Structure 1
Amino acid sequence: MHDAETTLRTVDDRRFDKLTALIRREIGVRLPTSKRQMVESRLRRRIVDTGFTTLDDYMAHLFDHDGLADELDVIFDAVTTNKTDFFREPAHFEFLAERILPARRPGGARFFKVWSAAASCGAEAWSTAMVLADHHHEIRWSVLGTDINTRVIAQARRAIYPSEQLAPVPRHLRERYVMIGTGEMTGSCRIHPDLRRRVSFNRLNLMAPSYPVDRDIDVIFLRNVLIYFAPEDQARVIARLAGHLAPGGFFLVGHSESMVVDQPDLEQVAPAVFRKV
């Protein structure tokens, strides 16, 4: 009998290609053959939990024995990359605080709306909320975070993080909006309830033909996600998101992604920052 490591690598190429084509079609993530070992590694625990011995047996369960429907969310959670940090690419948060918010007319009746469209564990949404809360006396605001991954959305809703993960948060914001755990929660922090009341998280697939989101969003973050999509999927997602921006609204992508934004109604106004015209 082969050891588990060897057995897991005997997956049938045809089934693997079928799986990666499904993932690309459903959630847009491209997984070339070079990513095969990563996919196997991330699915290994699920294989064991479902009582199968090999990845090939698991694939047979998916495609030959009608097991796919029950496993889709688990597969999508396993293959999506959720690297994120608080105040990642800080220039964007400086742009929000110094350029976007000062131009916002105080006292307006309409909420200032921000959408973190690939929210992962919530670090981007909570970082944004801290910046907005610093201007709470000037504007009324809300933040929506969405992601395809059910596991990270659950973490974002809990708003509990290891203390070291909050290290990039500027000290004055950390003192106001982060609660330090004690007792059995020592080593953990939680976002302050004042922010949690204004931030919501929902599951959303960027490959869906339409999004159940308002069409007057002031700022949309979609950072470090487009790099995983094929060019034609990038264009479709950008176009759909642009349709949810208010006139003059801002669209922010990762600093390595500026070149993929080629949308007629979006003009670049700063590095990786675009405005709807």
Structure 2
Amino acid sequence: MKNFKKNWRKMGFFMPFFLLIIFFLFVPFFQMLAKSFSTGSGQLGFSWYVEIFTKTSYLVAIKNSIWIAICSTILGTVIDFLLALSLTNAGKRNRRWYQSLLNLTSTFAGLPLTLAFVTLLGTAGVFVLIGKNAGISWLANYNLYSLKGMFIIFLYFQIPMGTLLLLPAFHEIRKEWKEAALLMNCSTFRFWRKIGIPIMMPSVMGTVNMLFANALIAYTTPYLLVNNGVPLLPIKITDMFVGDVRQRPELGSALSIVMLLIMLLVLTCTNLVKKLFQKGRK
């Protein structure tokens, strides 16, 4: 009985946090879920989901968001892994300087980031003009206001955050393991393939989940850059709630549920990969 009272007293300190979760996460989620199945006539149905998966504009938006999220996540994870690896081997002074730069660039988003990329790679951007004068065709014809052109912005989102997330994972790799591998004539590539990466796989998969979600829900910069010129799922969702012509919150809720299901699918896949690596280690 005494332990029960002590536990309740401890739980009392977390009550404000639990209330925040309930009112800011669970209540809006269940309201959104109910709206997504509402047909507008007081009945429940799948009409909004049928419209999403039969109308080309929504299918293209989902396809574009998944494509740019997957590509930026894969390439971003590779770059982040190499950057975090080099950072752990760097000197203390260089490490501090680079971490400060990562913290600075990770907060550089929204309108300032959009203006920076327009200045550099827009129609009359600095690099585009340099490409025209130097005769570099791919740079002179670079189109920032397209899906492929925006890829560099999404990749920019991934590098600072992914590197900062992977840095603690490299501290799990002990120097003694590397020294033992060298004594056994194990190459660096084989060490990372057999020992390093399997040990870091939970952290790597967690980083992949974060990067994918970060790219999938990115809204401000793409909206400021292309508005509805390039169909993307977050922009379509926002238009359903704050559209100037017609607001359709039920359809926006259904699109939000579809986005959530995509995230859950990716989370399931990464968990399966993590379990396969853990079984391989055993």
TM-score, with structure 1 as normaliser: 0.24
Higher radius of gyration, 1 or 2 = 2
Higher relative contact order (CA 8 A, sep 6+): 2
TM-score, with structure 2 as normaliser: 0.24
Q: Whose helix fraction is larger, Structure 1's or Structure 2's?
A: 2
